[in-house]
Amino acid sequence: MSTFVLISGAWHGGWCWQRVTPHLTAADHSVHTPTLTGVSDSAHLINPSVGLDTHIQDVVAYLEAYDLQDVILVGHSYAGQVITGVADRVPQRLRRRVHLDGFIGDGRPAIELLPESVAHHYRESVAESGFGWLIPPRPLAKLGITEPADAAWLEPRLTPHPWKTYTDPLPLTGAFEQVRGTYVECVDWMRVFQSFHEQARAAGWDTYEVPTGHEAMVTKPQALASVFLQIADAA
């Protein structure tokens, strides 16, 4: 049995893994899906001071509170930054870090890791409708959501994301390198994170592809769970 801790990306909460979790628990794995401060069911805690360090500490505190060991820590999208920071602080608690269609942190702020065209959209939306400190949810079509039922499930649950988490640098000591990385890319959309997949492959990581859009946990939950089970076996 493995212990999975699944961390959602910007605008999402732990609820977004609901379609994946049953496939993992059916294989006798333990699954945790905490929500980061300021989004979704923790949206009441959002304020301009919520930053990347807040979210790293969220996960570190969760691992410590539940005394989780030998964890397969999954970070989707933005949360790739978060899990790199967590691995740097508590590498002894992790067996593997899995970057799901997201960043591989190298110390720079997340906004500097995005393609310039996407980063421009983020800055523009923050300035125009995010009051200078919030990132409004992106249109779901941009994330590869094509089914109306999936859009209807996602849209009312997404909440603005704290901008500071994208502008904060990621302080690293190098301890994160003790935790082996795995990369999973969603390949049927605009592939914003393709360069990280290539980086992971060049570094000798195990890499996987899921033929769907960015929201794989919603659009291809069984296929994504199958990849996670392969990762657990390999780990």
- 80 is written with which tokens? 């790739």
Instruction: Tell me the sheet residues that pair with 100.
Output: 76, 184
| Separation CA 66–CA 185 (nearest Å) | 29
Identify the sign of the CA torsion 132, 135, 137, 143.
positive
Say which amino acid occupies 66.
Y
Sequence-distant (6+) residues with CB within 8 A of 140 are: 150, 151, 154, 155, 215
Task: Answer yes or no: 77 catalytic.
Answer: yes
Task: Give me Rg for the CA atoms of the chain.
Answer: 16
Q: Give the active site residue among 77, 125, 129, 195.
A: 77
Q: Is 118 helix (H, G, I), strand (E, B) or coil?
A: helix
| Separation CA 101–CA 2 (nearest Å) | 22
Longest dimension (CA), the chain: 47
Q: What is the DSSP string of 200-224?
A: HHHTT-EEEEESS-S-HHHHSHHHH
Catalytic site positions: 77
